[in-house]
Amino acid sequence: MIHTVQAGDTLFAIARRYGVSVDSIRMWNALRSDSLSLGQQLRVAPPTGSGVTAASPAAQPSTGFYQPPVATVSGGGSINMQSIRAARNVFQVQVLPQAGFNQYRVTYPLPTGGTDTATFRDNINSAHRVYADGIMYVGKSSPRNIPVEAYTQVGLSLPLARALKVVSENEGNFDAINSYDKAIFSYGFIQFAGGAGGGLGAMLMIVKSKQPQVFRQMFGQYGIDVVNATPRPIITCASPETGTILSGDEACAYIKTNKQLTTAFIAAGFHPSVILAQIESATRGYVSPALGMRTDLMLSGQLYSGVPLASIIRSEAGIATMIDLTVNQWITRTASFFRQALEQIAAADGIRTPEQLAAVDERRVLQTIVAQATDARVRDRTQKMLNSGLGLNKI
């Protein structure tokens, strides 16, 4: 199938129209950049005889982001331990013993076609290390490669989408993994933790409930599952070695130890549905709490209780800072940083009410947080938001 480039076409729009990935279009047409020319002809389906069949938009629900071919497991339903063990062999793991640690070189199939490799080690040198067999992997699937439109697909307004995208770029990659600390197995650009109380199960449940076919492709066929429970979904994992189904922390510990399953998560970090699930999970877990923060303000000797910070901080950069500090410090401390800065500015300028404070210069607020911060992480993260290029005018 061939598409002829028209005025206003972009690779992202073309990929979305035909239900394929941007990376697939690049590969099928040997493109070295995303620049297009009027009248240029692009292949938008796999070449005949390639053995790859693109998923029909009717056959698989569209994420609106991009849609790579999806392989289904024959027969559907549950798979036995033998088939789980065989499926995992798609992940090739080479162990390279070193002095004091093991280095792993793994090869995995990309959901968009082709294969890639990753290298990581165990016995991480960190004061937070709990598990010697755990690893730290920075990853390659970068938020910088994801268009802002992907962030709007989870219900964010464009200013909020731009804010979260910048926060994402300062966090990590969608395929990043930490499995050496008390969280047991953390995954993704905001490190959704798999241990008790963590958000990894909730993120996986978004994929399973919205894109069950994708969940089976990237996780289910390897024995990884997630089940609804109170107060949060629980991760489960099949152990062919014992013929049992592990759950909760035991399942996460098994995934940590089994480097084929660790690699399955790396591969999944390139799938658009998993990427969108991470963005949606971050929106639920951090954006919404950040926007709902309230604080007490002492203005000219008068205490104003429960003032919504979002009624004062309304610029892209200011909102991004609230989200970013919430990810790193959570809402109680984040609210205190903004309260201290706002009270200092109000005292200096004779501002007497929250309504007057709502007109405050938000660049000055962020600069005050930087100046007041005793924690280098707070100072550095806020300064990054100031330097990000996000708008400082109220929206």
Q: How confident is the model over 108-129, as a mean pLDDT? A: 94
Could you read off the pLDDT of 30-69 as tens digits, one per residue? 776 677 888 888 888 766 544 444 444 333 444 444 443 3
Report the predicted TM-score, pTM, of the whole model to 2 decimal places: 0.78
| Every domain range in the chain assigned CATH 3.10.350.10 | 2-43
Give the pLDDT band of residue 7 (cuts 50, 70, 90): confident
Tokens of 369: 């947080």
- Give the neighbor-by-neighbor strand order of the sheet with 136-137: 136-137, 177-178, 186-187, 192-193
The per-residue pLDDT for 75 is 37
Q: Find out whether 62 and 208 touch, Cβ atoms under 8 Å.
A: no
The residues with which 115 forms a beta bridge, in sequence order, are 109
Residues listed for the chain: 395
Query: What number of other Cβ atoms are within 10 A of residue 345's Cβ?
Result: 17
Could you read off the pLDDT of 168-196 as tens digits, one per residue? 998 899 999 999 999 999 999 999 998 77
Task: Evaluate if residue 227 carries a pLDDT over 80.
Answer: yes
- Please say whether the dihedral angle defined by the alpha carbons of residues 28, 151, 317 and 142, taken in this order, is positive or negative: negative
Q: How confident is the model over 256-267, as a mean pLDDT? A: 98
Closest by Cα among 139, 165, 87, 102 to 267 = 139
The residues with which 106 forms a beta bridge, in sequence order, are 93, 118
In whole angstroms, give the CA distance from residue 286 to residue 248: 23
Tokens of 237: 């994992």
Judging by beta carbons within 10 Å of its beta carbon (0-12, 13-18, 19+), is residue 41 exposed, middle or buried?
exposed
Closest by Cα among 182, 164, 56 to 124 = 182
Q: Find out whether 318 and 366 touch, Cβ atoms under 8 Å.
A: yes
Topology at the third CATH level for domain 2-43: Membrane-bound Lytic Murein Transglycosylase D; Chain A (3.10.350)
The per-residue pLDDT for 97 is 94
Task: Evaluate if residue 23 carries a pLDDT over 90.
Answer: no
Q: How confident is the model over 3-28, as a mean pLDDT? A: 74
Element (H, E) at 322: helix 316-349
The average confidence (pLDDT) of the chain is 88
Q: Find out whether 334 and 289 touch, Cβ atoms under 8 Å.
A: no
Name which residue leads in pLDDT, 18 or 69: 18
